[in-house]
A and B are shown apart, each in its own frame.
Chain A
C-alpha cells in the first residue's frame, strides 16, 4: 500500500510508460496507474468476469471538480483526482483500460444511455430519478458544503428558509437544484421572497457567480467547496456543511447487468483492501466519506 502511494514508484513507472504511450497520452488518453499491488481478490474477479479483459472502455466525466476529476494543471493532457484513480483501479482489477470523455454534468447519463460511454465515474449522486437512466454502484457518502461570499453577508445556514430571497448558483442537473426549488413554497408560506436559481454548466462558473456578486450561495459537495475556499481564501468561505440523503455512485448501462456485477465486485475489493480510504487521504478528501459499496437500481 505504501509502496503504491510512494511518489517515486509512480514517477518511475510513469516515465517509461510516457515514452511508450507519449502519443496516446497527448490525445487525452491516460496510462493506467502502473504495476502496483492490486487488491487480493482481483485475480479471482478477472477470471470470473473475463469479458472486459484487454478492452478499452470509455468513462464519461465532468472534469470540473478538482479533487475528484479535473485536468492536471501541470499536464493538461491528463485527468486526475479520486474518481480517476478509483476508475483506473477498477479497470486494472477487471483487466480493462479507460479513456475519458469530457461532457457537461447534465450530459453524463445521456452520454451513457446513448452508448457513447461505458461507465460514468464523476462524483455523481445516485438518486432514484437518475437510476432510471443507469444502474448505480454507490461508493461514497455525501456531505454538502454551502459556499458563500466572505463574511456570509446573507447569513445563509443551509438549504433552509435562510436562503429565502437569496440567489443560488447551481450546476444544471445537480441534486441540489430540486432541494432549493422545494424551498420556494416554504419561503412563500412564511411571507418571504422566494430564492432564485442560476443554472450553470460547470463548477467554475458557479464559483465565478459568487465572486462576481451575481449569486449569494453555491451548495455542492463539501470537498469541492473546500477547494474553492482554498483557491480564494479572501473572497469565499464555507458557511456550513449539510448532510444530504444520497450516496455518490458509479453509473453503468442498465442493459449490462453482468458489467454492473463485475464493477460492484471490484469496488468492493478496493473498499475492503483499504485502497479506497487511502485514495481519500491522497486527494485530501474527508475520510468520513468512506462507505461500503452498494447498489441503486430502479426499473
Chain B
C-alpha cells in the first residue's frame, strides 16, 4: 500500500482517465442524440415509428453492454465497418444508453401536467412551441437527477471497454497490477480516481439543480441548500408562508376591484334584444361523440351570438366539458359540425382534418380563449410570463408590448402586486384570475370557461366570479360557461342550457329556465344544487 500515492499520480493512469472520459462522453452524447430520436419516435402519432423504437429498446436494454461492445468491435468489421476501439466502445455505450435516456425523456415529457398541455393548445401553441416553451423546461428540471444517475452509470460502464482493448482506467490498472504484482495499491488508487470522477458528476448535477431551481431567482435558494447535510425542504422550503397566509384572506383583494353593476330587469330585456340581432359567434349542430359504447355527445346543437353569455348546466358527465373542448377542437368528435366565427375550426375547406400545427395556428387566429377548472397555469412561469409568454410565442408580440399587456390584464384582475409570483405561490382564486387574464390576453372572440370555480375553496369563489361578471357586463365578451353556480348563472348569463345525456334538454333565458324549469329533470337538478350549496354571497 506504500505506493498508493505514487499510483494516484501516475501519468499512465491519468491518461487512462482521459480515455475513460472520452468513452463516457461519446456514450452520453451519442446516447442523448439517439435517446431524443427514440423518445420522439415513441411519442409520435405514427404507430410504426413507436413500434420500431420499442423494438430497439427491447434489444439494447435487454442485452449486456459487454456483448454490445464486443459486437461493435469484433462483428462490425465483418460487414466492412472497422471502427477504432474508442469509437466502437463509444458507439456501443451510446446504443446502450439511448433506451435508458429515451425512457427518462419520455417520462419527463409525460410527467408534465396534461392540463398545461391543453392550456397551451387552447392558447394556439403549435406542438413545437408547446414542446420548447412548456414541456421541455419542466421536463428537463425533473430529469436532471435521473440524468446525473445515468452519467455516473455510463462513467462506470465505460470500464467494460477494457474487453475490447480500450486503454481506459480499468484496463490500465489491471495491466499495471499484472506487471508489478502490486494489486491492492493500484486498485485502491484507481477506485479513488473513479470516485473523484463520479463525485464531480454529482457536483455538476447539484449545480444544475440549483441553477434551474425556480426559486433561485427570488434569492430564497442558495447552492448550499443542495448539499446533503443541509436539511432544507427543496419543494416547500421556499414557500413564502407569510405571504400565502395573507393571500388566503380574499377580502382586501376583491375590494380592489370596483364592484360590477348589476343589471336591472329592463336593462336585461334591452340586452337580450341587442344580442338577438348580433351575428352568430359559435354554432354547434348535430354533434356526436362517444367513448366506446358510451355516448358523451348525442346530437347536440347550440347557437351562441356575439356578446351573449351562455351558462351550461347539468350533472357531471352530461357532456358540458366535452362540448367546450370540442368547440376549440381540443378534442375530436365523431360527427356533426362546429363553427366559430363562421369557420370550421380544425378542418380544411374540403372537410379534411388539419395537422396539429395548422389547428394551433387556426385557434390563435380565430381566437377562442379557454379557462380550465384546474387553472392549468404553466407552473414554471411567473404570473406575468404566463400571460406575456404566449403573446410573444404565438402572436409574435415584442417583449415590451407583451409585458405591457400582461401588466394591464393583471391589474384588471387585481393581481398586479403578484406579477412575479410562481403559480404555486398563489392561492387557487389568484391562479384562476391569472388564468382568465391569460385567456383574455390575445383578445379572443369567444371565451370558454369550464367550471372555473369548481376547484376552489368556497371563500375563494367570489373573487373569480367577480372577474367573470365584469367581463360579461363591462366588456360584452361572448362566453360559454359550464358551472354549478346557479345564482351566478341567473345573474350573469343571458341564456341557460341544461344538458343531460350529451344533448340539450332545455334552454332559454336564464331567469326563466332557472325559476321555472319545464322538465322535471331540470327542476330536480336545480333543487339539489340549491339545497347542496348555501346561497352564494354574489351580489
Q: Which residues of A contact B177 (CB under 8 A)?
A: 204
CB of A71 within 8 A of chain B?
Answer: yes
Q: Which residues of B contact A72 (CB under 8 A)?
A: 179
B183–A114 CB distance below 8 A: no
A60–B175 CB distance below 8 A: no
B178–A65 CB distance below 8 A: yes
Contact digits for A205-234, partner B, Cβ 8 Å, 1 yes 0 no: 101100000000000000000001001100
The 3 lowest CB-CB distance pairs between A and B, nearest first, are A76-B12, A70-B179, A64-B178
A73–B163 CB distance below 8 A: no
Q: Which residues of A contact B174 (CB under 8 A)?
A: 64, 202, 204-205
Q: Which residues of A contact B85 (CB under 8 A)?
A: 101, 116
B12–A114 CB distance below 8 A: no
| Min distance, Cβ B206 to any Cβ of chain A, angstroms | 35
Q: Which residues of B contact A134 (CB under 8 A)?
A: none
For chains A and B in complex, what number of residue pairs have CB atoms within 8 angstroms?
Answer: 81
Give the residue name and chain of the A residue nearest to B13 (CB): A76
Of A63, A205, A208, A228, which contacts B179 at CB under 8 A?
A63
A207 to B78, CA, bound (A): 36
CB of A198 within 8 A of chain B?
Answer: no
A202 to B163, CA, bound (A): 11
Q: Which residues of B contact A65 (CB under 8 A)?
A: 178
Contact digits for B37-73, partner A, Cβ 8 Å, 1 yes 0 no: 0000000000000000000000000000000001001
CB of A203 within 8 A of chain B?
Answer: yes
Q: Which residues of A contact B276 (CB under 8 A)?
A: none
A76–B176 CB distance below 8 A: yes
Residue of A26, A102, A203, A208 with most chain B CB atoms under a 10 A cut-off: A102
Given A76-B172, A101-B85, A208-B183, are A66 and B178 neighbors across the interface (CB < 8 Å)?
Answer: yes
| Min distance, Cβ A149 to any Cβ of chain B, angstroms | 16
Residues of A participating in the B interface, judged by any CB pair closer than 8 Å: 26, 28, 60, 63-66, 70-73, 76-77, 101-104, 107, 110-111, 113-116, 202-205, 207-208, 228, 231-232
A4 to B70, CA, bound (A): 41
A28 to B85, CA, bound (A): 14
Contact digits for B78-95, partner A, Cβ 8 Å, 1 yes 0 no: 100010010000000000
Q: Which residues of B contact A115 (CB under 8 A)?
A: 77, 82
What range describes how many residues of B lie at the interface?
A: 20 to 34
* Docked complex: B91-105 residues within 8 A CB-CB of A: none
B163–A103 CB distance below 8 A: yes
Of A66, A70, A114, A207, which contacts B77 at CB under 8 A?
A114
CB of B171 within 8 A of chain A?
Answer: yes
**A70-B175, A110-B74, A115-B82 provided; 11 other pairs, C-beta below 8 A?**
A65-B178, A71-B176, A73-B179, A103-B164, A107-B163, A107-B164, A114-B74, A116-B74, A116-B77, A116-B82, A204-B174
Q: Which residues of A contact B180 (CB under 8 A)?
A: 73
Give the residue name and chain of the B residue nearest to A208 (CB): B183
CB of B181 within 8 A of chain A?
Answer: yes
A102 to B6, CA, bound (A): 23
CB of B75 within 8 A of chain A?
Answer: yes
A60–B10 CB distance below 8 A: no
A258 to B164, CA, bound (A): 28
Residue contacts A-B, CB under 8 angstroms, 6 given: A26-B15, A111-B165, A116-B77, A204-B177, A204-B183, A232-B181
